[in-house]
Amino acid sequence: MADTKAKEVDTPAAADVDSDEFQIGEMSIEEALAHFNTSKDGLSSTEATARVAQYGLNALPEVEVNKCMKFLSFMWNPLSWVMEAAALVALCMDNGPTPWVTGYNPDGLSNPLPPDWYDFIGIVALLLVNSAIGYYEESQAGDAVAALMDQLSPECKCKRDGKWETIAAKELVPGDIVTIKLGDIIPADLKLLNGEDLKVDQSGLTGESLPVTKSEGAEVFSGSVVKRGEIDALVHATGVNTFFGKAANLVANTEEHGHLQEILRQIGNFCLAYICLWIVILVIVLAAAYNWYYRGIINLILVVLIGGIPIAMPTVLSVTLALGVNQLAKKDAIVTRITAIEEMAGMDILCSDKTGTLTLNQLTVDVPSTCGRFGASDIIKMAALSAKREG
C-alpha cells in the first residue's frame, strides 16, 4: 500500500487537474499514478476524505436557491409591478376631500377620507396568494425531480485501504482506483490500467453509434457505457472537471429566455405601456379640463391599474407547468427548467441524434440458440466462472 503521509503532503492541487497543461493521455500509467500520489492499491479512507474536501464531490454543482428570494421572485415581474403600484396608490388616497368636483360640498376639505385599506389589503392578499401557489407548485415539482435523481444515483467498485468496496459514485476523487466491467456506466473520467481491452459506448457524448475500443493507458469519459471487457482504472477527473461536466456547464451558463418567458415579458410590457397611457389621459383630462380633486383621479387610476392587467395569469401558468413536471417525474423524466415543457410542447419537428439519445444503443437477446451439448444456462455459468471475481 502506498505511503499515506506522502499522499497527504503532495496531493496535486485541484487547479492542476483542470489545467490545460495537464495532459493525462500523454502520461504513462506509472507517471499518472505518481502525479496523483496513489498506487494500484488505491487511496486510504483518510486520504479520500481529505481529497473530497479539496476537489469536491463527483457531481455537478447544485445551485442552492434561497427559499425567501424564490418566493419573492413571484412578485418581481411586470404584471406584479402593476399590482404593487396599485397597492401603493390605495395607500396614497389620504386627506382627499369627500367630493370629487369643486363646489360639490360646502365643507370643502373639511371631511378628508382615510386611505383605501380594503383595496390595499385585497391587492396584497392577492399578490401573496398568487406567489404562494406558484412557489408551492414549483417546489413540489422540484422535490419530485430531486427524488428521482436520488434514485438514479449510481454506485461503483472502488479500492480503498487495499480492499474493494461499493461506494456512491459521487464520493470518488482523483487518485481513486476503480474497476469497470460490462454494463457499467463510467462514473468519472478514467485512465485505464492493466487489463483486457474495453468496448465503450460513447454515443451519449459523441453520437458515435458503434462502440470504441479502449486499451490500457487510454482515457474513457464519464457517462459512457462499457459494452465489453473488464479492467481497473485510475480516476483523474471528477465533477465539473470531467468531459461531461464541462459540456453541462456550458449549457447551464446559457442565459437565453425561452419562448414562453419572452411572451410573458411582452404581455407585461404592453400592459405597462397601456396603463401609463391611460393614466396620463386621466390626469390631463380630469385635472386640467374638469378640475377634479386628486382623490377622484386616484380612484380612477386605481381602477385602471387593477383592471388593466391579467392578475392571475402568472399563477395559472406556474401551476399548469408545475403539474406537467409532476406528471413527467412519475414517468421518470427529469425536467430541470420548468418553462422547457412549453417549448417542447410547441415543437413540430425535433432533430436529434437517435443513438444514445432516443434509443439505448443496446442489443437484446430474444431467443438463444446454442450448438452442441451445452445449453444457454451452461454458457452463462461458464462465463461467470471465467469472469474476474476480485471486482
User: Which residues are marked as active site?
Assistant: 353
CA–centroid distance for 14 within its chain: 24
Alpha-carbon Rg of the chain, whole angstroms?
Answer: 32
Residue partners of 266: CB distance under 8 A and separation at least 6: none
CA 388 to CA 177: how far, in whole Å? 16
Q: Which residue has the cell 417542447?
A: 344
CA 183 to CA 343: how far, in whole Å? 34
Q: In what order do the strands lie in the sheet with 212-214?
A: 212-214, 198-201, 225-228
The size of the chain, in residues, is 391
- The answer to whether the beta carbons of residues 345 and 321 sit under 8 Å apart is no
CA 292 to CA 289: how far, in whole Å? 8
- The answer to whether the beta carbons of residues 169 and 187 sit under 8 Å apart is yes
C-alpha cell at 238: 471528477
Which is nearest to 152 in space by CA: 182, 185, 119? 185
Which is nearest to 32 in space by CA: 189, 156, 229, 243? 189
H/E run at residue 192: strand 189-195
Residue partners of 70: CB distance under 8 A and separation at least 6: 135, 138
H/E run at residue 180: strand 177-181
